Structure 1
Amino acid sequence: MSGPHLHRLANGFTIAAEPMAGVETIAVGLHVDCGARHEEARTNGLAHLFEHMVFKGAGGRSAREISEAVENVGGYLNAFTSRDQTAFQARLLAENLDLGIELIADLVRKPHFDEGDLIREKDVVLQELGEARDLPDDIINDHFHSTAWPGQPFGRPVLGDEASIAAISVGDLQGWTRKYYRPENMVLAAAGKIDIDRLIGMAEARFGDMETAPRPVAEPAVYEGGSFVEKRALESAHILFGYEGVGYFDADYYPLMLFSQAAGEGSSSRLFQAVREERGLAYSVGSSVAAWRDTGMLTVYLATARREAQHAADLSRGILQQAAIDLTPTELARAKAQIRATILMALESVQGRADRLGFQTLVHGRPLDPAAIVAKIDACTLDQVRAVGARLFEGRETLATVGPALKAAA
């Protein structure tokens, strides 16, 4: 098995690929450096609506013909939008790689953007928004972001809201394409049964004629924190509290991952054992870490009975704070083993490898060596991990609740 290959076309378009032995399939994805944090307030939700709209017709194919083209050969085509990235993914037999690249290229370069389709797709997105609002464990993430990063593009919801979705026009979609779907802003990532030279030739044919332009820069995210409550007459309480973490390039990135893993992730963590197993205070509890280029967060999610909500939240805070003082070598060793296994297991998946290539190349400019990542994780000391935990609590907490109002941290 050879390692990853990186190639840039003359116009700045990047191809990242990794052949894998013993497989007959490929995963290919176009990763674009644009998402909800690049939008204006007036058109919040534009990145996500764009992702929907390109599937309504592109490259001379209707929505049905796009679906049939990929499913006729047993393949799969999908996309997602986040705060800082949009990606279009195809999973196919290796012999159909050209079709996958053709379809993805048509989606982003030759979308039809019909006015009637836009009206109908806005209704679909509004249904998606309504579904998210009906699910407390979903909408609470939007409440957290808008409270932690208020009045900023980074804090706005990926789906937008009724007013911003209604305001989006075909002209806005076309302007979004021109501004962000530029060669320097894209990475085509592929893994599986791949011929590298053939892949580069396909990319050159589909993307090599794109005109260059400066890479847009998103407005920096400035963390503020605070409290938000959405009162609902629910039997349960849904709580998400957390603190500003670190970005991908921070020296504390891996120590923070280890702190969260040891203190709050998984059924063996302190948080799960104390809150659920020993006291039965919550049916769902756990911490997680998220990172972006310029910021990050560590959060704890709790789903519990209303009567237990304040107690469960206070106990969870205390557990994390105590872990920053006395996390043990055994807990740290277990966290390292868990993260190491997650990284290496993902490498055995064709889709996992392609996603890793695209994401890392978009963020870091190149694929990262998994062995080097594992070495950095193994090198983290107990003092480093405790220190990054303590650093969290020096900043302001963000608390979002769906259900009853709660007291924030003192």
Structure 2
Amino acid sequence: MNQPNLTILPNGLTVASWALPGVETAAVALSADTGSRFESARLNGLAHLFEHMVFKGTARRSARAIAEEMEDVGAQLNAWTSRDATMFHARLLARDLPLGVDLIADLVTSARFDADDIIREKEVVLQELGEARDTPDDIVFDQLQEAAYPNQGLGRSVLGDETSLAAITRDDLLAWQADHYAPQRLTLVAAGKLDHDTLCRLAEAAFPGPATDAVAPNGDAAQFAPSNRHDKRRIEQAQLTAAWAAPGHHDSAQDAALLFALAAGGGMSSRLFQQVREERGLAYTVSAALQPYADGGLLSVHAATDPAQAAAARALVEQVLHETAAGLEQAELNRARAQALAGLLMALEAPQGVADFMARSLLVHRRIVPPAEIVARIEAVTVDEARAAGAAMLAHTPARAEIGRHKPA
């Protein structure tokens, strides 16, 4: 595989590319170093609404033209918003890369934010919010974030709520664009059949002008403050979640924590799956995961069980976690390591995966971390380090969010 290229344009825009041999397509993505954790409580949902609104039309394209221009060439265009990042991405034939760069830039720099479109799109987001609320195994994770980070940006929903969405105005959208989409906060990445110098020329044309004096917004610092949330709606399967403070992106223990989470609940061979589902039949779904942020993270567990068995399932899940921290075996660590490495390296065999990898790496580390460096770190984690990471995370009181009519923890 070729090596990536990185250029910072005079206006501060970061441009990165990775040419891949043997492909006829390209993936291009624009990542913004912003997300819902940077919002005020009053305007919760603004980052996500901005992502929606840019697709409603620009100074040069209607909403229909945006869709037709991409589909005329067989391309795929989409976007997503998280708590700490926003991404606009396209997958297309290599010859159509200029269109992809131009269209994505047009979206984030020239959106119209028409008043009638804002009204309609707020209704669309409310439908999305309603769908999430009607999906217990989805909304329970928002409730867990709130339980882990109460009254903080990281604890609020990406979607916002009825009150905060109603408060958002066109001026708020324009201010968000000016502050959060300045060139120095953006990274344009592309992977596949491409030339780096050509990509830079396309970026210069699509993002003209000098650097702005916009001040980089700061979200409030993550402060894990565990609490409990219990939604008592009547459902067939009780949704049980818990979360412990975990290492963040820049913590040297993150790799060990990741492998602990995979060994504990990352697949069908994990301890949680085998003991909670296969041996005891207490849950259909059971898993563990690590979610790192720049300034902290969460180790979370989730189980869906009969409400009558909620107490037994909850107790067994936590028992298994502690047993894993105390007695993780080498074979389990090796299996978790294989999962982590396979997930990384398989993703790097496709343009979209490579583009996503570069974007994440630049957002988190401000450099393209060589995959070999990540592989070496994961390979170096020992059983004792994984056990210690698990024990450190489990040493404190967890946050909890549960849905269902059962006895809470």
TM tier, shorter chain?
Answer: over 0.9
Q: Distance in 2 between matches of 1:150 and 1:187?
A: 31
Give how far 1:343 is off.
Answer: 0.8
1:405 Cα deviation from its structure 2 partner: 4.4
CA distance, structure 2, for counterparts of residue 141 and residue 319 of structure 1 = 21
Task: Tell me what 1:179 maps to.
Answer: 179
Residue 385 of structure 1 aligns to which amino acid in structure 2?
A
Are 1:48 and 2:53 matched, yes or no?
no
Q: Corresponding residue for 1:259?
A: 260
Partner residue of 1:21? Answer: 21
State the Cα distance separating 1:216 from its structure 2 match.
Answer: 2.3
Classify 1:267/1:243 alpha carbon distance in 2 versus 1 (closer, same or farther; 3 Å).
same
Indicate if the aligned counterparts of 1:238 and 1:403 stay in contact, CA closer than 8 A: yes
Aligned pair in 2 of structure 1 residues 405, 225: CA closer, same or farther (>3 Å)? Answer: farther
Match of 1:306 in 2: 307
Please name the residue that 2:392 is paired with: 391
Match runs of 1:150-229 below 5 Å: 150-213=150-213, 214-229=215-230
Amino acid in the other structure paired with 1:388: A
Can you give the 5+ residue segments of structure 2 that lack an aligned partner in the other structure? none
Which has the larger displacement, 213-222 or 70-79? 213-222
Question: Is the contact between residue 246 and residue 253 of structure 1 (CA under 8 Å) also seen in structure 2?
Answer: yes
Aligned to 2:66: 66
* Aligned partner of residue 219 in structure 1, secondary structure: coil
Normalising by structure 2, we get a TM-score of 0.98
**Structure-1 residue corresponding to 2:111:** 111
Counterpart of 1:31? 31
Determine whether 1:96 maps to 2:96.
Answer: yes
Question: Could you say which residue in structure 2 is the equivalent of 1:335?
Answer: 336
Structure 1: which amino acid aligns with 2:4?
A: P
CA distance in 2, matches of 1:239, 1:226: 14
> What is the TM-score normalised by the length of structure 1?
0.98
- SS of the equivalent of 2:299 reads strand
**Which blocks of at least 5 consecutive residues in structure 1 are unaligned?**
none
CA contact 1:282–1:303 (8 Å) conserved in 2: yes
Aligned position for 1:77: 77
Q: Give the aligned partner of residue 2 of structure 1.
A: 2
1:329-368 → structure 2 map (5 Å cutoff): 329-368=330-369
Whole-Å separation in 1 of the counterparts to 2:109 and 2:68: 20
- Report how far residue 393 of structure 1 moved: 1.7
Helix, strand or coil for the counterpart of 2:171? helix
RMSD: 1.0
Q: Deviations over 1:25-44 (max 9, x none)?
A: 00000000111001011110
Counterpart residue identity of residue 68, structure 1: E
Shift of 1:406: 4.0
Does residue 291 of structure 1 match 2:270? no
Is 1:55–1:66's contact at 8 Å kept on the other side of the alignment?
yes
C-alpha distance in structure 2 between counterparts of 1:79 and 1:70, whole Å: 14
**Matched letter for residue 267 of structure 1:** M
Give the deviation of 1:69 after TM superposition. 0.6
Shift in alpha-carbon separation, 1:210–1:46, aligned structure 2, 3 A: farther
Distance in 2 (CA, whole Å) between partners of 1:404 and 1:82 is: 30
Percent of aligned pairs sharing the same letter = 49
- Counterparts of 2:210 and 2:19 in 1: how far apart (Å)? 26
Q: Deviations over 1:349-392 (max 9, x none)?
A: 11000011111111111111111101101101111110010001
